[in-house]
Chain A
Amino acid sequence: MSDAQVKTLGERQAFPPLLSVDGIKVHYGAIQALKGVSLTVGKGEVVALIGANGAGKTSTLRAVSGMLKPSAGRIQFNGHDTTNMKAHQLVPRGMAHAPEGRGVFPNMSVQENLELGAYLRTDTSGIQQDLEKSFTLFPVLKERRKQMAGTLSGGEQQMLAIARALLSKPQLLLLDEPSLGLAPQVTEAIFRTLREVNATGVSVLLVEQNAHLALNAAHYGYVLETGEVVMAGPGKALLESAEVRRAYLGE
């Protein structure tokens, strides 16, 4: 519906469809956070969603993962209409969401947090293997496995949140500002891991304020402004666009 106003740059690389969001609206009481957002994510694709504070990035992820119900529009995931599904019903269908502010359970150990990520899985040996895998991805988590998650540093908590999300064996990983408050080296490490994860076939929908970082990592990107998608295009094309550079890269 608001697609007419979306300025689209360049050609999108083809991926098989995985997630399709179609004109969703989200309200918080009288506040309308999303005014009809449409976007898609393909299998194996990394898609970035950038925008200023309050643009509606988090709200979009929340609607996709079932944390809140859109008041209009449709969401399809993996061939199912998931518009009205709750978050816990989407996890077994391949959705994982590392929420804004990390959302680790501070009063549980690192290990317990990771095991909660695998809450719905029953393949004990598979879970064990994947635990080891996350310790290879984030060696620091292995050292801290017995420590309460609340005592980890911000970067470590972010790693934990991502590792925990991956333990559900998702097809689509939703990440909300993984770089927030982290030192550049830590952020780099997290983005490197993200590429490794993506190389194993996991799709990523990435929300970032750090547009440079996000668009560099993404196959495709969307620019969100006050609840609407205003621009879309391949990551590189958006990085080169004058409007994006002015508005989001501080040039």
Chain B
Amino acid sequence: MAQLLQHLINGLAAGTIYALVALGYTMVYGVLKLINFAHGDVMMVGVYMGYATAFALGRDMRSSLLGVAVVFAVAMLGCALLGFFIERFAYRPLREKPRLTALITAIGISFALSYGFQLDLGFLPGAAPRAFPEVIEPVEWLVIGDRDVVVWNWQVISFGIAVALMVGLQYLVFRTRFGRAMRAVSWDHRVAALMGIPTDRVIALTFMLSSALAAGAGLLYAIKDTSVSPLMGLYVGLKAFVAAVIGGIGHVPGAVVGGLVLGLVEEFVVGYAASTWRDAVAFGFLILVLLVKPGGLFGRVAAEKV
């Protein structure tokens, strides 16, 4: 029983991180019908920005509340900027070209970032994984029984940040004027423009938003994993993409559910079977979902697309 509870907690903590990254895939897919394969790598760059900031702040500063806030803010703003430039200079010129062109460009950017960050240029840390500094000093937040169940403070904080970001995003998409514009662009950007919606700006902002979310999620992942590496974007990105597809790509609540489901599935496989099975089961689960529901759990033809 206690073991089950522990896995549940771990699974949810991992799942919220997948969900945040999955939201980025789903939002960009929503407005552009583009699978942004570079999304995970943008996340990785954000983690390095946070890494550099944490070191710049120094040991005492970075584990203070203010320090954590600064690390997240720098990474998220930096990534928003990166997302803006990628959209503006890589994807926008291809907007009216066949969709495959943009897809291949996305893969190109993904490789450029993930392999570019392995170069040894002095200012980049190089190919080897690095320990991510303890921006949140681990403290046991809740211990049940004889350490049957242990909840760490970073799990709670991570869960809290992820949930806050998701709730904020839901609000933005479904309750604000900008969100309505996003949903209109997602349905048909040509018709959206006829409403006076500046579609280019909406698409740019969507990229910035999804990149910022990715940076936040990436930092949470790095804190959990206590490491950072140039290839983490490919790995986490792929998992989050799977989560987005499980939920039904383009569907905002679907991405959240897909992330949570994937986090839980992986945790239970690791807990009750073997950790070597984790990825196989994750992708197997994807295939299973797609066999039963080709559009993902929530993907319907008339589904709410963002």
**Interface residues in chain A, defined as those with a beta carbon under 8 Å from any beta carbon in chain B:** 65-67, 86-88, 91-92, 96-97, 99, 103, 105-108, 112, 115-117, 119-120, 148, 150, 164, 168
When the two chains form the complex, which single residue of B177, B191, B199 contacts A105, counting CB atoms closer than 8 Å? B191
When the two chains form the complex, which single residue of B184, B199, B303, B305 contacts A116, counting CB atoms closer than 8 Å? B184
Residues of B within 8 Å of A112, CB to CB, are 180
Give 27 A-B contacts (CB < 8 Å), ordered by A residue: A66-B193, A67-B194, A87-B193, A87-B194, A88-B194, A88-B195, A88-B199, A99-B190, A103-B188, A105-B183, A105-B188, A105-B191, A106-B302, A107-B187, A107-B303, A108-B183, A115-B180, A116-B195, A119-B177, A119-B181, A119-B195, A119-B196, A120-B195, A120-B196, A148-B302, A150-B302, A168-B195
Q: How far is the CB of A58 from chain B (nearest CB, A)?
A: 12
Q: Is the CB of A99 within 8 A of B196?
A: no
Cα distance A213–B180 when bound, in Å?
36
Cα distance A112–B174 when bound, in Å?
11
Residues of A within 8 Å of B196, CB to CB, are 88, 91-92, 119-120, 168
A105 with B198: in contact, given A67-B193, A99-B191, A150-B302 (CB under 8 Å)? no
In this assembly, does B134 line the interface, its C-beta being within 8 Å of a C-beta of chain A? no
Q: How far is the CB of B182 from chain A (nearest CB, A)?
A: 12
Cα distance A114–B127 when bound, in Å?
54
**Interface residues in chain B, defined as those with a beta carbon under 8 Å from any beta carbon in chain A:** 177, 180-181, 183-184, 187-188, 190-191, 193-199, 302-305
Q: Is the CB of B194 within 8 A of A97?
A: yes
Instruction: Indicate the member of A66, A91, A99, A116 with the most B CB atoms within 10 Å.
Output: A116
Instruction: Indicate the member of B181, B195, B303, B305 with the most A CB atoms within 10 Å.
Output: B195
When the two chains form the complex, which single residue of A91, A92, A103, A116 contacts B180, counting CB atoms closer than 8 Å? A116
Cα distance A116–B194 when bound, in Å?
10
Cα distance A103–B189 when bound, in Å?
11
When the two chains form the complex, which single residue of A99, A106, A107, A115 contacts B194, counting CB atoms closer than 8 Å? A99
Question: Apart from A88-B196, A117-B195, what 4 extra A-B contacts exist at CB < 8 Å?
Answer: A106-B302, A116-B180, A119-B197, A168-B195
Residues of B within 8 Å of A117, CB to CB, are 195
Residues of A within 8 Å of B191, CB to CB, are 99, 103, 105
Q: Is the CB of A107 within 8 A of B302?
A: yes
Residues of B within 8 Å of A120, CB to CB, are 195-196
Q: Is the CB of A88 within 8 A of B190?
A: no
Residues of B within 8 Å of A107, CB to CB, are 183, 187, 302-305
Q: How far is the CB of A126 from chain B (nearest CB, A)?
A: 15
A105 with B194: in contact, given A88-B199, A150-B302 (CB under 8 Å)? no
Q: Which 6 A-B pairs have the closest CB atoms?
A: A91-B196, A87-B193, A120-B196, A103-B191, A88-B193, A119-B195
Closest to B304 in A: A107
Q: Is the CB of B190 within 8 A of A105?
A: no
Cα distance A97–B188 when bound, in Å?
14
Residues of B within 8 Å of A65, CB to CB, are 194
Q: Is the CB of B193 within 8 A of A105?
A: no
Q: How far is the CB of A243 from chain B (nearest CB, A)?
A: 34
Q: How far is the CB of A237 from chain B (nearest CB, A)?
A: 32
Residues of A within 8 Å of B195, CB to CB, are 88, 91, 116-117, 119-120, 164, 168
Cα distance A123–B183 when bound, in Å?
23
Q: How far is the CB of A151 from chain B (nearest CB, A)?
A: 9
Cα distance A92–B38 when bound, in Å?
36
Q: How far is the CB of B198 from chain A (nearest CB, A)?
A: 5
Instruction: Indicate the member of A103, A106, A168 with the most B CB atoms within 10 Å.
Output: A103
Residues of A within 8 Å of B184, CB to CB, are 105, 108, 116
Closest to B302 in A: A150
Residues of A within 8 Å of B181, CB to CB, are 119
Q: Is the CB of A91 within 8 A of B194?
A: yes
Residues of B within 8 Å of A99, CB to CB, are 190-191, 194
When the two chains form the complex, which single residue of A97, A106, A115 contacts B187, counting CB atoms closer than 8 Å? A106
Q: Is the CB of A67 within 8 A of B190?
A: yes
Q: How far is the CB of B190 from chain A (nearest CB, A)?
A: 6
Q: Is the CB of B187 within 8 A of A87?
A: no
Instruction: Indicate the member of B177, B194, B198 with the most A CB atoms within 10 Å.
Output: B194
Q: How far is the CB of A53 from chain B (nearest CB, A)?
A: 21
Residues of A within 8 Å of B305, CB to CB, are 107
Cα distance A105–B306 when bound, in Å?
12
Cα distance A119–B195 when bound, in Å?
6
Cα distance A86–B199 when bound, in Å?
10
Cα distance A65–B183 when bound, in Å?
22
Cα distance A119–B184 when bound, in Å?
11
Q: How far is the CB of A90 from chain B (nearest CB, A)?
A: 8
Cα distance A96–B193 when bound, in Å?
11
Instruction: Indicate the member of B191, B196, B305 with the most A CB atoms within 10 Å.
Output: B196
Q: How far is the CB of B95 from chain A (nearest CB, A)?
A: 13
